[in-house]
Structure 1
Amino acid sequence: RDIYPDCGPLGGLYTALYYSPRPLVAILPCDMPLLEPQVYRILLENAFSDRPVVAVSHLGLEPLVSVWPVEPSLSVIDKNLKNQKYSFRETIEELKAVKINIQAAMAEYRPEMFININYRDDLRKLEFNLKDKNDFRRP
């Protein structure tokens, strides 16, 4: 249960940071089933400061593919939630996040890693591509 209920993903992130026994928290979107573990290895390799590290794909900024330091993120997000500022992107900018171009960082970048599955139709399209086109097959 979120500490700040009904505040969207930022409220969930705050709760994860608040309860984390570790200094870093990785955020993984549940609607990107093809996201490669290597993306998080790259993000973690760049998590050496007190700034969040956020993936940038061929589609742009991927706020939910990120690694967050508990401090100072917790205090900034707490302030934003108390002021009813729920934007993940604005929080990323406020904390001066490190943005990592995943396409440039990966030797074998696959754009399909960032396919977002929100509806049954999205899932059907993905299943079609997996079965018939081999566009999304993993090695």
Structure 2
Amino acid sequence: MEVTTLILAGGKSKRMGTDKALLELEGTTLLERAIKLCKSFSSELLISSNSESHAVYSYPLIEDAYKNCGPMGGIYSGLKQSNTDWNLVLSVDAAFVDAPFLQFLLQNAGDFDTVVPFTEKGVEPLIALYNVSCIPAMEQLLKEGDYRMRNLLKKVNTKWVDATDFTSRNKRLFTNLNRPEDLESSKL
């Protein structure tokens, strides 16, 4: 199965106070970590960002077609540019996602619009698979000003996959680095 990876790197990083994609963890920027992780799964890699500082990685930068809409705007714009049906979406601040988990997601692709993991803590729509079949529903929600991912996931054919086994082995799997203290504690 051919897959495009869309790395969501266009957030405003308000809580972090600086561009999260360019923060370093273990000597590598979060954006570089995401690229390295996803390259082997991807026939194409796109970076959802409006920042030219992310262009240094030689992958196409995809600007939001709908501005200031959060992740849905980035995912929508990436799907519109994708050359494959299935698209692996990874938020750049999810620095501890691992290859076995991504393989698990890909194994669950089928006759669905999305494949979204969940645990007892909730759902993870920014570490998930999206089919280009989502585009019409996303476009409708964006035009209506409804940017909530959970509303999209209710509207399309979503396969919910239990990620509890993965989080029991990798406690930080869904840890997002949103604040300076998150970055500091991740180095321990």
Q: TM-score range by the shorter chain?
A: 0.7 to 0.9
User: Deviation of residue 23 (structure 1)?
Assistant: 0.5
User: Deviation of residue 58 (structure 1)?
Assistant: 4.2
User: Quick one: which of 29, 33, 37 aligns to 2:99?
Assistant: 37
More strand by share: 2
User: Deviation of residue 96 (structure 1)?
Assistant: 3.2
Query: Which consecutive segments of 4 or more residues in structure 1 shift more than 2 A?
Result: 106-109
Partner of 1:23: 85
Does structure 2 retain, via aligned residues, the 8 Å contact 1:32–1:117? yes
Q: Partner amino acid for 2:171?
A: P
In structure 2, runs of 5+ residues without a counterpart are 1-62
Partner of 2:72: 10
Number of aligned residues: 126
Q: Using the aligned pairs only, state the percent identity.
A: 25
Does structure 1 retain, via aligned residues, the 8 Å contact 2:167–2:173? no
Q: Specify which structure has the bigger relative contact order, considering alpha-carbon pairs within 8 angstroms and separated by 6 or more residues.
A: 1
Q: Partner amino acid for 1:23?
A: D
TM-score by length of 2: 0.63
Q: Give me the whole-angstrom Cα distance separating, in 2, the residues matched to 1:58 and 1:123.
A: 24
Does structure 1 retain, via aligned residues, the 8 Å contact 2:119–2:164? yes
Q: Partner amino acid for 1:25?
A: N
RMSD, aligned α-carbons: 1.6
**1:3-38 CA distance string (max 9 Å, x none):** 111111100010010000001111101111111111
Q: Give me the whole-angstrom Cα distance separating, in 2, the residues matched to 1:32 and 1:64.
A: 9
User: Deviation of residue 80 (structure 1)?
Assistant: 0.6
User: Quick one: which of 92, 105, 115 aligns to 1:53?
Assistant: 115
Q: Give me the whole-angstrom Cα distance separating, in 2, the residues matched to 1:36 and 1:58.
A: 19
More helix by share: 1
Partner of 1:134: none
Partner of 2:179: 119
118-127 or 56-65: bigger deviation: 56-65
The structure that has the greater radius of gyration is 1
TM-score by length of 1: 0.84
